[in-house]
Amino acid sequence: MSIKKTEIIIKPLKKFNLEEGDVLHALKSSEKEFNGFGEAYFSTIKTQKIKAWKRHLKMTMNLIVPVGNVQFNFYDDQKDILINTTIGEKNYSRITVPPMIWFGFKGLSSSTSYILNISDINHDPHEVERQPLSFLNFLSK
């Protein structure tokens, strides 16, 4: 919790196939990407819809997509693209996002996709900045 993270980290996660239903890893407190627990919540994104743009001033996010597939775009302060990647059922991974990164995401599945965010702080509207979709170019490819 004392380490200042400044990098976006993408880490493949394990999925165990069992007869009655799978087990999917998300986050352990022993992993270096764990930055403390404030809140866990889900955001869903419908087919071909985009939620953008938003950045957190304080929150570090840990994003996991157990259901569906979601394309994420991350931009820095200078409006330079940092990462354009897709995670979800086809690429079961976690994205750790430090504060001050602009992000947007798009639902790529034919049904609604689910994003779990395990954040290091409780929801606080004062630490969120929002901009309209036109603020940055959402790269769909």
Answer yes or no: are the C-beta atoms of 73 and 52 closer than 8 Å. Answer: yes
The stretch among 19-27, 53-61, 76-84, 95-103 that binds a copy of itself (CB under 8 A) is 19-27
- For position 135 contacting a copy of itself by CB under 8 A, the verdict is no
The site that binds a copy of itself (CB under 8 A) totals a number of residues, namely: 37
Type of residue found at 61: M
- Choosing from 10, 38, 82, 98, the residue that interacts with a copy of itself (CB under 8 A) is 38
Distance CA 115, CA 41 (A): 8
Q: Is the dihedral of CA 33, 39, 40, 41 positive or negative?
A: negative
Interaction site with a copy of itself (CB under 8 A): 19-30, 34, 36-46, 49-51, 66-67, 107, 112-114, 116, 118, 122-123
